[in-house]
């Protein structure tokens, strides 16, 4: 799988995450058959164009611990992700050290690899409830 195919598989899979649910970078990697590439999933989402059509609900992908990853000093990406998740009804809390967190047991979406049809994901806008 080359880089373009990997990015397309990530985007198609992220579009399948239901409205009001989250999953992890690692689970996206497992679903596309690349279980050791969770960081690459994060990079694919980092370089996602805002003009991507159909849209990719990038905000529904968080760390497996339930934390919303910081985007580095001087950025507001974590806050934007929090706002987008809360707009979908996902509860975001502040952890003991100030990190933004989502309860993965409550809000997580973890289909078994092979149980979803990624090939037809591009026709879904990712907002299914």
Q: Quick: pLDDT tens for 52-107.
A: 999 999 999 999 999 998 776 667 888 999 999 999 999 999 999 889 999 999 99
pLDDT class of 129 with cuts at 50, 70, 90: very low
| Sign of the CA dihedral running 112, 101, 124, 87 | positive
pTM: 0.87
Q: What is the pLDDT of residue 47?
A: 87
- Average pLDDT of the chain is 89
Positive or negative, the CA dihedral 116, 117, 122, 125 is negative
pLDDT for the residue numbered 67: 95
Compute the distance between CA of residue 60 and CA of residue 108 in angstroms, rounded to an integer: 9
Q: Which residues pair with 67 in a beta bridge?
A: 101
**Best CA proximity match to 45, nearest among 15, 13, 7:** 7
pLDDT score at 120:
65
Q: What are the structural domains of the chain?
A: 3-108 (1.10.10.10)
- The pLDDT value recorded for residue 73 is 66
Q: Tell me the pLDDT tens digit for each residue of 18-54.
A: 999 999 999 999 999 999 999 999 999 988 888 999 9
């Amino acid at each position: 799988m080359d880089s373009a195919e990997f990015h397309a598989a990530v985007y198609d899979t992220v579009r399948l995450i239901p409205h009001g649910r989250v999953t992890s970078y690692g689970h996206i990697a497992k679903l596309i058959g690349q279980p050791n590439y969770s960081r690459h999933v994060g990079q694919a989402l980092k370089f996602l164009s805002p003009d991507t059509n159909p849209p990719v609900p990038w905000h529904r992908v968080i760390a497996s611990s339930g934390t919303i990853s910081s985007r580095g000093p001087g950025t507001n990406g974590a806050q934007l992700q929090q706002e987008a998740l809360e707009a979908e009804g996902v509860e975001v809390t502040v952890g003991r050290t100030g990190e933004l967190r989502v309860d993965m047991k409550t809000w997580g979406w973890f289909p078994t690899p092979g149980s979803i049809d990624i090939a037809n994901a591009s026709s879904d806008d990712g907002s299914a409830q």
